[in-house]
Amino acid sequence: MANGLDTASPYVQLSRAQWSELRKNTPLTLTADELEELRGVDDPIDLAEVTDIYLPLTRLLNLHFTGARQRSTALNTFLGASQRPAPYILGIAGSVAVGKSTTARLLHTLLARWPEHPRVELITTDSFLYPNQVLTEKNIMHRKGFPESYDRRALVRFVADVKAGLPEVTAPVYSHLEYDIVPGATQAVHRPDILIVEGLNVLQPAPPTALAVNDYFDFSIYVDAKVEHIRNWYVDRFHKLRRTAFEDPKSYFKYLAELSAEEATTFAENVWRDINERNLVENIAPTRGRAGLVLYKGPNHSIQRVRLRRI
């Protein structure tokens, strides 16, 4: 085996150093100030992480995008059609608090700065959660974030319409502050070159006779870490939110800002154990093998190794 390549495996396992070398001459187009804006709560990502991990990744995705466009052009030539190439769709999955949202926002910014695909859009599957009223009526409010709490048909229809090249496709808007879908609000997507779909369960297989959202993906990424590390990040993030966003009078979680530090830790650990860890173990982690690439994080949130599917 050389450079992580085992000819008997469908995967290439690469250390951070090996992966970083694949950047080649990809330029860094992001400033420290811009990265600060993209960074998630308590996510310590820095420009070294961007250079070592995300620049090689954008190079890979650019090459993959180019190949997809060439295949689309070849098919149109065969059919005698003059359609524009279908949008390239990238899925990003992972646990709550693992940093997948930062990954999605960062790739959204970096990919849009490549001349080959300047129109990049980002949608999160939070937009396709059922409204709280519906979750309450279904008696699954306590399972918010589990697969059954999403309007799967609406999500699949949205991605299918974008893939089909419709001029405009709209999605609902989710407010993390209000912890609910915003009535009447929509987010419009207009024929992007690349659509990034980020969410907990985007790699879930479909029920029999149906299509899953990942059936429309051209490539997918899973952000991974040990459960105990994610639990620590979740609790740390909860404390920071309690001192910031939860203090907003409009926040659904306003009452949590009044908890003592000890009470807040107990509350966060219980939520993690009873909801988020359960969802991770039962639904999210089992889909990791469906991803084209897995980013493995260490205890300090830094990506230590990469697994790339080659066949």
Per-residue pLDDT, 266? 97
> What values do phi and psi take at 245, rounded to 5?
-60, -35
Give the orientation angle of helix 100-111 with respect to helix 55-79, to 10 degrees.
60
C-alpha 288/C-alpha 103 separation (Å) is: 16
Per-residue pLDDT, 69? 93
C-alpha 276/C-alpha 96 separation (Å) is: 7
Per-residue pLDDT, 8? 65
Per-residue pLDDT, 117? 93
Phi-psi region of 69 (alpha: psi -120 to 50; beta: other; left: phi over 0): alpha
- State the 10-residue block means of pLDDT for the chain, 311 residues long: 61 96 95 92 90 98 96 91 90 97 97 95 98 98 96 97 96 96 97 97 91 97 98 95 90 92 96 97 97 97 96 80
Per-residue pLDDT, 1? 44
